[in-house]
Structures are given as C-alpha cells and as structure tokens.
Amino acid sequence: SEMRNERTKRTKTVCTYCAVGCSFEVWTKERHILKIEPTHGPANGISTCIKGKFAWGHINADDRLTKPLLRDGDGFREIEWDEALDIIEHTFKRIKNEHGPDALAFIASSKCTNEESFVMQKLARAVIGTNNVDNCARYCQNPATMGLQRTVGYGGDSGSIADIEKAGLVLIVGANPAENHPVLCTRIKRSHKHRGQRLIVADLRKHEMAERADIFFRPNPSTDAVWMCAVSKYIIDSGLAKMDFVNKWVNHFDEFKKSLEPFTMEYAEKITGVPAATLITVAHEIAAADGTCILFAMGVTQHCGGSDTATALSNLLLVTGNYMRPGAGAYPLRGHNNVQGASDFGSMPNVFSGYQKVDDPDIRAKFEADWGVTLPTTTGLDNHEMIRAIQAGSVKSLYIKGEDTITSDANAGDVGDALSVCEFLIVQDINFSETCRYADLVLPAVPSLEKEGTFTSTERRIQRIYKAIEPLGDAKADWEIIQLVANRMGGNWNYKHPSEIMDEVARLTPLFAGVSYTRLEGFDSLQWPVHADGTDSPLLFTEGFPFPDGKAKFHPVEYIPPSEASSKEFDLHLNNGRLLEHFEQGSMTYRTPGIKEITPNTWVEVSSELAAERGISTGRHVQLTSPYGIVRVQVIVTDRVQGKQLYMPLNSVEEPVNRLTSSFTDRATHTPAYKETAVRMSVLPEQ
C-alpha cells in the first residue's frame, strides 16, 4: 500500500566490511533492512558479495550496547551518559595529574569513519597532550605502507581497482582476494579468463586464485623477499630492466644493484624452495608484460620482515618501470572498510592527518595555531608498545574504540594479562565484544547505518555514508562520544556534523585540500590526493613521486629469517586467514544467523601427506600447541596446504588462532608476525 511505501526509506551507504568499498542503497523500514541494492557504485557497479548483501545482523543483534556499562564486581551495570562522562573526566584528570599525559593511550578503529579517526587523534594530542594514538592497521597493513613510503612516498594503491583490468600481468602475493576482496577479484577472474591477462600467484596455500593461475609457486614461509630480490637481480643482469624509467624517475640504482649481489637464483632456490627455472620464468613474464600489478596482503606483511618484503616488492616494480601508468603498480589490498582512512586521518603515533609528521616543528606549529594548544613533540606509542607499557606500569589508561583487541592482537594470553592489569580500560563498541569483558567502562557506539561520515577504500576512494536508521537506545556515533569526552576535558569543541570535521581536515591537510561533503554528495567520490580545486587522483603517481626531487627511491633490503622457525618441539608451521563468509574473528558476521550456520566452527587444514603420517582424516579433532597457548579444532584434510604447513581460519571466538600466535613483530613497524607460528599437533581421542 501507499502507507507501506511511504515508510520505506532508501539511503546511500558504503559496505562496512572489506576495503573494496562497495557502495549501495539500503532499503529500510524503521529498524528493518529490506534490501541492499547496488545501483552505480564507483568500485562495484551493481555487484556485492555475501557480506555486503546479507551480513547486517549486527545492527539488531541481542547484545547491541544501548547504554554505558560500568564494571560492578565480575559484571556490569547500566549507567547514564552523564555518570559515564563524570567517571572519565575524573579518572583521566587524576591519571594525567599523577602520571602525566603519556600515561593515557588511545586506539582508534578502522571500522569507524575518517572523521572519527581524526577526532580520536585530536582528543589524544590536543586535549590530553599525548601522541599515544594508533589504529588496527598496526595489526595488518603498516608494513605495506612502510614499504611503499620508503620507495614511492605514498602508502596506497597505485591506481584504481578498475585499472587492474588494464594490466598485462597480475601477480598476487600472500593474499586471498577471492575470499577477502570478492568484488575486486571478480574483475581479475574476468580479465584473466576473457582478455588474456596473465595471472601469477605466490602463496603457501593453494586458494581459488592459485588454482586459476598460469603460474603458481609456493615459497617457503617468510621467504618472499628473497625471490623478489632474486627476480630483480635477474632482470637487471639480463638487461631486462626498464632503464629509461629508472634513470628518469628513481634514485639509488647503483646501491640497489650492489645490495642484490647475494640474491642469485641458486641462493633463492635454496632459501625459498622454488625452482630457479620457475623464478626465471616469472622474471621474464614481468619484464615482458604490458603493465604488472602486484596485489598483496597479510601474507606479505605479517612477518618480522614484513616491511622489507613490501619494500622488495616495490623495488621490483620500480626496476621494471611499473609505476606512473594505469594497469601497473602496487596494490596493498586493505582489509577493513576504513583501514586506509584510519591511518590517513591521523590516528597514528607519529603523524597527523595526511602523514604530516608530529616531530616536524612547522607542521606542529600549523596544528597548534589552528587548535589553539601546545602539542606534544615526540612520537607516541603504537598498539604493540601500549600493551607492553601497560604491563610495565607506565600506561594506566587505555581507550579502545571499535576494536576487539583481545581476539585481534597476537598472543591473546599475553594481551589478556595486560588488559586485566590496566587501571582504567574504556571499550567503545556496538556489541559486547570479547574485549568488553576486560573493560572498566563500556560505551555504546553505533554501526555505520546509524551515522554519517566517510570511509576511504583500498583504492584511496573517499565515499560518504548517510544515516539510514536512528541510533539504538542511548548509543551514539563515535565522533559524538569523543566530542563529549573532549569537552569534559576542556576541549571546547563544537562540531554539529561530521562535515565540519572534514572541513577542518581539508584546511590542515594538503593530501585532502579539496575534500568537502558537497563534492562527495550521494555516489560522488574522490580519490586522494585531492587538490584544492577538487581534482582527485585515480592514478596515484602522475608527475613523479612525493619526494623533494620528484624521484622514487630504491631501498635495499636484507633477508630476515622468520622469528619462529619450526623446531623439534613445534614441528609444524601454522598459517591463518579470513573466510569469505566472515569478517575477521566474526564479531559482526556471526551476528547474522544464516551466515553463522554455514560456518559454525573453525577448523584446521591439514595436508594429505601429514594426515597419512599421523593417521587422521577429516572430522578428527586435534589439539594445536604453540609456546603461547592451545586450541582444539577439527581437521579438514585438503591439498590447499602442503607438507608440514597448517592453515586455520580466523573465524572463531571459542578457539581463536591468536591464542597460538607470538609477540614477535615486524622490525620496522611492530606489526605482529601472525604468519610465523610454529605449533605441534596431537590427535585427540575419537569423540
């Protein structure tokens, strides 16, 4: 009827799951989602995957937080916002007076909006007076950003998602886009199948794209940098390097060439286990291709040499002239919907928005003048260091927004110990997460459909989300909560809408100079850098690289062996990753009933060789033991994994893989080496 139609509302939004950045209209009637309708999303056209289409159960989940919760013995009791803010004000002031501003620390969320990342770092820096602010890119993408910043200046996809179709060759390293970036991956499947695009996959695990690839090779764990350096060396030595490009656009070639001397094909074969003949074929494929895109993710970054591998990857692209043109370059496939934006907008311990350094006096002076405060001068603590500092007693308060630290961070037992001793832990989230169990105060925030703001996808595309549904109960948008806290602490903020936060960002940040909500109306979007006149940058590098002389830099790397090689006691290598149906540990996707039924439990993938050796078959339960913890899971015997390598999906709260992972980290960024876990497996009695 007409009445019914009148109450149906259509609102433009952006998917809250992965960083492909699919946008669509959501049809709602009051709190009910009737339909997700992709019409003309710049990244996705008329497509979505299962998560974007169906995984919205978290909106109306039973455990949505609707009121602030205060710890009361072993449980919690509901309180009003005023009381919650009184407690925060009182405790923050006391800790700051007794121990100084650096006794407080803040973790922003890569699920929240850009504006919320910006106000979180502003709260830490301008109101509290500390640079102790970070976001969960520390758990995943910082090594990718580091590798690219070292070599080409900007840490972001070199071109648009659509540009990948223009590449002659797509090389996927340590990424599983068929499950983790489904809508982006459809383009690669199409151009590979129908337009003769070459596809090479390097991975431990034979996932769907490995099965489709023209060449698939499996380097030993944590050895990608070695084959990348060997291929670069072979290309230079064989006269296949694009020296016109190198001479015009890249510094430090001689130093780079010298650094490659150890990386002969014989050495690479020995370390990586990949036949030299395969690597030589790969070198010729890259050299001959009309544009190579390298897509990579956690299989590259989550190692103690993660930043160096990302650097080696970028060196390889530079020496083959694969930047500054569509259909070429580096594509660090970001995970969360806004992992790119959370860092871009300044929730990092060393930079303000747009990667402007906190220890640069001119930059600081600009922010001080605009904000009317004196800012801290030294780099703050990252997530990893915050946990250590809590254990050491120097950080007393941690404010976590939209991040399930206890399931996401590595070595869960150790992190749990730290959160238990934290004097004042605030957790702000939409559902009662595992981390909430450790909190002193829980603050109810709202999911994407209940607020306004912007997200930045993996292709640096900034897109608006609009409010489709009113906040549930007393829950509030994260930016509003942060403003309330800031004002209790004397911040004197007065943002009436996130657009005003964006105007401030644009004023203070050259990378976003021309960004405004009017330029982002509806399905309009902008890819950074956005110049003051509003022109944006689908292609990241057009007139050189963002260094003073406009040239990129070769950055030599060494091979860093894994932190935890298999030993006699822990004889198996455990890898991990996401599933198509779930997002990370499932804190949102498990709240959609249909999706929960498809994958109720987690499992471990075991190779047929190992299964035969241990006399086990699919369905058997095993116990995996690492130096840090134990999980019990069911076995799936599969040729997706080989030899003594195991694979576990991340989708479990009951038996989380992070009970097994260590506290070792990437040397340059402190990203945990999740992919370097040694375990032993014992078979449990039949049930």
In the list 12, 20, 174, 342, the residue contacting ligand SF4 (rule: CB under 6 A) is 20
In the list 12, 13, 26, 49, the residue contacting ligand SF4 (rule: CB under 6 A) is 49
Angle between helices 224-237 and 306-319 (to 10 degrees): 20
- Element holding 96 (H helix, E strand): helix 81-99
Identity at 369, one-letter amino acid code:
A
Instruction: Please confirm whether the linkage preceding 38 is cis (ω < 30° from 0).
Output: no
Phi, psi dihedral angles at 678 (to 5 degrees) = -105, 135
Identity at 40, one-letter amino acid code:
H
Q: Which residue has the tokens 């496939």?
A: 333
**Residue 376 in the binding site for ligand SF4 (CB under 6 A):** no
**Residue 577 in the binding site for ligand SF4 (CB under 6 A):** no
**Residue 419 in the binding site for ligand SF4 (CB under 6 A):** no
Using alpha carbons only, give the angle 517, 472, 458 rounded to the nearest 5 degrees: 40
Which of the stretches 42-50, 69-77, 504-512, 613-621 binds ligand SF4 when contact is defined by CB under 6 A? 42-50
- Which residues have a Cβ under 8 Å from the Cβ of 386 and sit 6 or more positions away? 105, 107, 132, 134, 395, 398
Residue of 114, 585, 136 whose CA lies nearest to 401: 136
Identity at 545, one-letter amino acid code:
F
Q: By C-beta, is 133 or 595 nearer to ligand SF4?
A: 595
- Element holding 71 (H helix, E strand): strand 69-72
Which of the stretches 49-57, 111-119, 368-376, 484-492 binds ligand SF4 when contact is defined by CB under 6 A? 49-57
Phi, psi dihedral angles at 397 (to 5 degrees) = -135, 135
Q: By C-beta, is 356 or 527 nearer to ligand SF4?
A: 527
**Residue 339 in the binding site for ligand SF4 (CB under 6 A):** no
Q: How far is the CB of 331 from ligand SF4 (least distance, A)?
A: 15
Q: By C-beta, is 15 or 175 nearer to ligand SF4?
A: 15
Q: Write out the binding residues for ligand SF4, residues 162-191 only, by CB under 6 A.
A: 182-183
Residues in binding contact with ligand SF4, number by CB under 6 A? 13
Rounded-to-integer distance, Cα 461 and Cα 536, Å: 9
In the list 12, 51, 303, 582, the residue contacting ligand SF4 (rule: CB under 6 A) is 51
Which of the stretches 45-53, 469-477, 534-542, 638-646 binds ligand SF4 when contact is defined by CB under 6 A? 45-53
Q: How far is the CB of 46 from ligand SF4 (least distance, A)?
A: 12
In the list 12, 22, 461, 529, the residue contacting ligand SF4 (rule: CB under 6 A) is 22
b/e per residue 311-331 (b: at least 16 CB within 10 A): bbbbbbbbbbbbbbbbbbbbb
Q: By C-beta, is 48 or 114 nearer to ligand SF4?
A: 48
Q: By C-beta, is 49 or 489 nearer to ligand SF4?
A: 49
**Residue 104 in the binding site for ligand SF4 (CB under 6 A):** no
Identity at 55, one-letter amino acid code:
A
Q: How far is the CB of 447 from ligand SF4 (least distance, A)?
A: 14
The DSSP output letter for 401 is E
Q: By C-beta, is 296 or 455 nearer to ligand SF4?
A: 455
What are the structure tokens assigned to 19, written together?
């960083």
CB atoms closer than 10 angstroms to residue 632: 13
Which of the stretches 48-56, 76-84, 423-431, 591-599 binds ligand SF4 when contact is defined by CB under 6 A? 48-56
Q: How far is the CB of 484 from ligand SF4 (least distance, A)?
A: 31
In the list 12, 13, 15, 681, the residue contacting ligand SF4 (rule: CB under 6 A) is 15
Q: By C-beta, is 88 or 175 nearer to ligand SF4?
A: 175
* Contact mark string toward ligand SF4, 258..297, x via CB under 6 A: ----------------------------------------
In the list 13, 18, 140, 603, the residue contacting ligand SF4 (rule: CB under 6 A) is 18
**Residue 447 in the binding site for ligand SF4 (CB under 6 A):** no
**Residue 460 in the binding site for ligand SF4 (CB under 6 A):** no
- Element holding 250 (H helix, E strand): strand 250-251
Residue of 424, 429, 389 whose CA lies nearest to 405: 429
Identity at 416, one-letter amino acid code:
G
Q: By C-beta, is 16 or 662 nearer to ligand SF4?
A: 16
b/e per residue 213-248 (b: at least 16 CB within 10 A): bebbbbbbbbbbbbbbbbbbbbbbeeebbbeebbee
Q: How far is the CB of 457 from ligand SF4 (least distance, A)?
A: 8
Assess contact for 625 and 677: CB atoms under 8 A.
no
Q: How far is the CB of 39 from ligand SF4 (least distance, A)?
A: 14
Q: What is the CA radius of gyration of the chain?
A: 24
- Element holding 309 (H helix, E strand): helix 306-319
Which of the stretches 18-26, 232-240, 263-271, 352-360 binds ligand SF4 when contact is defined by CB under 6 A? 18-26
Q: Which residue has the tokens 């035969």?
A: 612
* Contact mark string toward ligand SF4, 580..599, x via CB under 6 A: --------------------
Residue 530 CA: distances (Å) to CA of 23, 73, 118, 515: 20, 51, 17, 6
Q: How far is the CB of 456 from ligand SF4 (least distance, A)?
A: 13
**Residue 380 in the binding site for ligand SF4 (CB under 6 A):** no
In the list 42, 52, 101, 221, the residue contacting ligand SF4 (rule: CB under 6 A) is 52
Q: By C-beta, is 460 or 476 nearer to ligand SF4?
A: 460
Rounded-to-integer distance, Cα 504 and Cα 497, Å: 12
Strand pairing report for 215-217 and 169-173: unpaired
Q: Which residue is nearest to ligand SF4 (CB)?
A: 52
Catalog residues that contact ligand SF4 under the rule CB under 6 A: 15, 17-18, 20-22, 44, 48-49, 51-52, 182-183
